[in-house]
Structures are given as structure tokens and as C-alpha cells.
Amino acid sequence: MLLGDICTRDCAFCGVKSGTPEEPDRTEAERIAAAVGELELDYVVLTSVNRDDLPDCGSAHWVKVIGTVKEQNPGVSVEVLIPDFQGDETALSKILAAEPQVLNHNLETVPRLYPEIRPDASYERSLALLDKAAKSGVKTKSGFMLGLGEKKKEVAALLEDLRSIAVDSLTIGQYLQPATANIPVRRWVRPQEFELWKQRALKLGFSNVESAPLVRSSYHAARQSIELSPQ
């Protein structure tokens, strides 16, 4: 996770600390690249906290990390799980120019729940980000949680929204309450229902779907990327 461990937003589902972050670590790109090499990784997923305090929302830092990881580890594949950069198209363009193999941005939940669950985010803004990324030619990915109070018809509509902008890959998991300060789980979803959503998503045209209670954004990320690649 890039850019520290303090987020400028305070989403009701998230266990990451919220507050005023420190200045970005200028050595982070080199340290991450060295760790990738030491661990002999061939697939890396990068993510970050939201940094709405920075003029570019941290996009330049992202670009430096992606570039350094690739430069110091030839052949490594990089998947990015990015924030929305407040809808800044220039920031997104910088990330796309760094040529990640997969661009992931999570919707997290259905639009009706955004004011409660993601008050500083926008469902429409996130869809627009994914749409632009997909149109650039990069493989796109998104994910959301069940158990936050969504209705089945809302989940169905969310799937259709993602496919309408040609998102390739999808993850669906059970919301788990990180701490007592976060919103409680409103429904425990049976594995059979996760499988039903998986099959529905595949019929809509998603290339790859991971859907189960313990699935998270990076679950089998390398395998998903391979399955998305042209044969």
C-alpha cells in the first residue's frame, strides 16, 4: 500500500486509519522495487490510501513506483488498485501512461449506499474512471462487497453498469466489520448466492469472476490477469 497508512477519507466499511497523512516517502519506490526483487515476484498488486491532500492526489508518486518496479524487475507484471483521484483525468492519464497490466478500481457497493458507506466518493465518478481506462485499452477490473444492505436488484444493476463500460474482471466478497467503529454486517451471504452472482456476471460477459465469502480485491490476481491475456 503506497503513500502511508493514513487515508484522507473515512469510509464506513474500511479499517484504514483516517486523518492527516505525512508527506509521501521519497524512498518508497526504490524500497518497493527492491522488495519485489528480493521476493522474486513476477506479479505485483499496488494500492494506496486516498491522498486528497496532495495537488495531484498522489498520481505522480504512483507513476514513480510503477516505473521503478518495472525498471528494476524486468518482466514483472504490475496490477494497480487505484483511488478515484477525485475524478482528475490528468492523474488517471499518468497512471495509464505507466502501462500497468491491469487497472483495478472498486465500486465497493451499490449507488444507494454511497452516502452512508462512501460519503466522499461518487459511484458515477468511479464508473467514469473505469470507462476511460477501458477505452485506453488496458484490462480493467472492479469489485464490490455483499452484506452492506444492498438489494438483489441493485446488485444486478451494478453488474450491468460495469459491463456497459466493458470492465473485464470482477471480484465479489463478503463484507466483514473491521472494528466496532465500522458499520455492522447487515447480512451474511451464503456461498450458493455468491456462485449465482458469479454465473450471472459471466453470462453478462465478464472474462473472469472471483465470487465467494472470503474473496478480496487481489484474490488470485495473477491468475485472473493470465486468463484476461490474449492467447
Q: Which H or E run contains 132?
A: helix 123-136
Cα separation, 157 vs 174, in Å, equals 18
Q: What is the pTM of this model?
A: 0.95
The CATH number given to 6-228 is 3.20.20.70
* pLDDT tens readout for residues 67-123: 999 999 999 999 999 999 999 999 999 999 999 999 999 999 999 999 999 999 999
What are 81's strand-pairing partners?
A: 47, 104
The answer to whether 8 and 50 have CB atoms below 8 angstroms apart is yes
Mean pLDDT across 187-193: 98
Residue 73: all three cell numbers together? 524487475
Count the helices and strands in the chain (H runs, E runs).
8, 8
Stretch (H or E) spanning 222 = helix 221-228
| 3 Cβ contact partners less than 8 Å away, ≥ 6 residues apart | 21, 24, 25, 28, 48, 49, 51, 58, 61
pLDDT score of 187: 97
CB–CB of 127/161 below 8 Å?
yes
